[in-house]
Structure 1
Amino acid sequence: MIRFLATSLLYLMGNALGLLVAAWLLPGFHLAPLGFLISVLFLSLVEILLGPFVFKMAVSYVPALRGGIALVTTFIGLLLTTIFTNGVRIEGVLTWVLAPFVVWIVVLLAAVLLPLVLFKKVLAGRRGESASAAQP
């Protein structure tokens, strides 16, 4: 349960950063201040729920998509987020092509870097337990 909550927190933070970076880099990517939090929650929920489904479909029907599962899930998440929330608006084909990549790469970087910052004490405690358990 703790792992699920930590993963969900990382999804939320990564998606928030991803949306902010996409809005900063892409002129056709717009965020509404009041709808931003709802959009982050919605996008994260879509990605958490649809990720396994997209993976299963890709493995079964389109093996070439295996490497891009997260990218495809991010695209679907952004598409649904723009349809069902008022927090994100994406304009232009180029922005639609680049936005999922920008959000995905920021989420990927956040998934690697945020645990080092957020869970530093937990990780340090586990390393200490591993080292003391290895010594006789």
Structure 2
Amino acid sequence: MMQEDGPKRVVGSRVVKVLVHRRDDRGMSLEPFASRCVRQGEVHELVTTDQTDTTPGARIDRVGFLGFVEIGNAGVIDRGDEVRVDGRLVGTVLGFDACHHPNHYNILISTPEPRTGPEVGMNPELPVVFQPA
């Protein structure tokens, strides 16, 4: 079996807006890509879900919205990366939804139940990192 992934840098970001709502009928669609490159200064949305299907095009309905983050350093975010808010583990990257791209990606985060920004202690300027598990 050929190994594809080597070591990578942690992608740092900061909260720019906290979101407080959830939905059971969102209808996001999982992109066929297990990783996305992000650039310094980009803003992306963080969305939690308890759904686990990683099939390309899988419909993601049960979601909690965490908020938006500004990327602090360019890097690669991979499915399975840990997402930490102010050092606390929130979940792992499930994949990406591009319904708002090129404005931003929805970065889908696997959690036991959909959670919102206040439920994970998000506040503007808190650090959020994406790092290998």
TM-score range (shorter-chain normalised) is under 0.3
TM-score by length of 2: 0.23
From the two aligned structures, give the one with the greater strand fraction: 2
From the two aligned structures, give the one with the greater helix fraction: 1
Structure number with larger C-alpha Rg: 1
TM-score by length of 1: 0.23
